[in-house]
């Protein structure tokens, strides 16, 4: 691309070197012929980074760990779902006014509802971290009955109070069954072969989603596939939340196919 870059976007967090978002968004800019670039900004100074967004006229950023919760208090405006979830993963800069949004829940909902509607379904969310909160909120919004299971029961209980869902430890009560299972923990990441819940829990479900994408085919998804379940890998949520971010920043329809190809090529 010749000449100066007109619009700058990026991701702020620590660490961010591993992020696949630059590949996805830069592919979208190129596909649509936009004079824009998306960069990774590794920072522990969130307040300084937000000042930099304003000062440099950065058009928008993705916010990742560990800054999603703290970003709530540093923007000028929040949408209802960001407030409800208690986290911001997207900042839009409109002439110096920073708007905080959360697209994680939208990415998760789109990934699931591509294969199964959430309305009136029983959903098991494994884990009680930031991703869990966004997915719980999204599933509840779509009319699902949600149960949260976490190794530390107190953390699951805290989410129960915030989102009005049932909870337990990872030892799921035998009288419970679920249509959809979503793993939001790091179980199965890298060389970890852990499957977070008992086999019988998976046997009773129709669909299993894992937000881990390294490896793409986690031990949980391998077992679910062997049991004949519909599976959703971790790149789907990443893709769809990124698609929504792109549309919020640019006002354009995101080039879904090229963004998907960019993620797959980066993973291969």
Q: Looking at residue 3, what is its pLDDT? A: 67
* pLDDT for 140 beyond 80: yes
- Please check whether residue 124 is in contact with residue 151, taking contact to mean a CB–CB distance below 8 angstroms: no
CA–CA separation, 99 and 92 (whole Å): 5
Q: Looking at residue 1, what is its pLDDT? A: 46
Question: For 106-232, which CATH superfamily applies?
Answer: NAD(P)-binding Rossmann-like Domain (3.40.50.720)
* pLDDT for 210 beyond 70: yes
Query: Band of the pLDDT at 268, cuts 50, 70, 90?
Result: low
**Can you name the CATH fold of 7-102+236-267?**
Rossmann fold (3.40.50)
The residues annotated with a catalytic role in the active site are 68
Which residues lie below 8 Å from residue 175, measured CB to CB, with a gap of 6+? none
- Please check whether residue 116 is in contact with residue 230, taking contact to mean a CB–CB distance below 8 angstroms: yes
CA–CA separation, 49 and 13 (whole Å): 10
Q: 165 φ, ψ to 5°?
A: -130, 160
7-102+236-267 and 106-232, same CATH topology: yes
Q: Looking at residue 2, what is its pLDDT? A: 56
0.85 cut: is pTM over it? yes
Q: Looking at residue 132, what is its pLDDT? A: 96
- The predicted model gives 31-49 an average pLDDT of 98
- Please check whether residue 128 is in contact with residue 150, taking contact to mean a CB–CB distance below 8 angstroms: yes
SS (H, E, C) the chain: CCCCCCEEEEEEECCCCCCCHHHHHHHHHHHHCCCEEEEEEECCCHHHHHHHHHHHCCCEEEECCCCCCHHHHHCCEECHHHHHHCCCCEEEEECCEEEEECCHHHHHHHHHHCCCCCCCCEEEEECCCHHHHHHHHHHHHCCCEEEEECCCHHHHHHHHHHHCCEEECCCCCCCCCCCEEEECCCCCCCCCCCCCCCHHHHHCCCEEEECCCCCCCCHHHHHHHHCCCEEECHHHHHHHHHHHHHHHHHCCCCCHHHHHHHHHHHHC
Hey, where are the domains in the chain? 7-102+236-267, 106-232
- The predicted model gives 157-179 an average pLDDT of 96
- The predicted model gives 127-139 an average pLDDT of 96
* Residue 172: strand pairing partners: none
* pLDDT for 87 beyond 90: yes
Residues of the chain above pLDDT 70, percent: 99
* pLDDT for 144 beyond 60: yes
- The predicted model gives 115-123 an average pLDDT of 98
Average pLDDT along the chain? 96
* pLDDT for 221 beyond 60: yes
């Amino acid at each position: 691309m010749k000449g100066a870059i007109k619009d700058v976007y990026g991701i702020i967090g620590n660490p961010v070197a591993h992020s696949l978002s630059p590949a996805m968004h830069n592919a979208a800019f190129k596909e649509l012929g936009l004079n824009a670039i998306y960069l990774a900004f590794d920072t522990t100074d969130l307040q300084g980074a937000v000042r930099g967004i304003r000062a440099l006229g950065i058009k928008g950023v993705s916010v990742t760990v560990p800054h999603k919760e703290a970003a709530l208090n540093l923007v000028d405006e929040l949408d209802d779902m960001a407030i409800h979830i208690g986290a911001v993963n997207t900042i839009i800069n409109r002439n110096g006014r920073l708007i905080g949004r959360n697209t994680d829940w939208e990415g998760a909902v789109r990934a699931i509802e591509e294969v199964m509607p959430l309305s009136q379904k029983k959903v098991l969310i494994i884990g009680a971290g930031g991703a869990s909160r966004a997915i719980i909120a999204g599933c509840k919004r779509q009319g699902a009955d949600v149960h949260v299971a976490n190794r530390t029961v107190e953390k699951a209980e805290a989410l129960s109070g915030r989102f009005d869902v049932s909870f337990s430890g990872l030892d799921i009560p035998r009288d419970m069954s679920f249509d959809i299972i979503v793993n939001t923990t790091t179980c199965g990441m890298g060389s970890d072969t852990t499957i977070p819940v008992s086999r019988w829990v998976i046997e009773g479900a129709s669909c299993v989603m894992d937000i881990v994408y390294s490896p793409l085919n986690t031990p949980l998804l391998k077992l679910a596939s062997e049991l004949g379940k519909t599976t959703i890998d971790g790149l789907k949520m990443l893709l769809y939340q990124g698609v929504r971010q792109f549309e919020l920043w640019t006002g354009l329809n995101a080039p879904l196919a090229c963004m998907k190809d960019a993620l797959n090529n980066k993973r291969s």
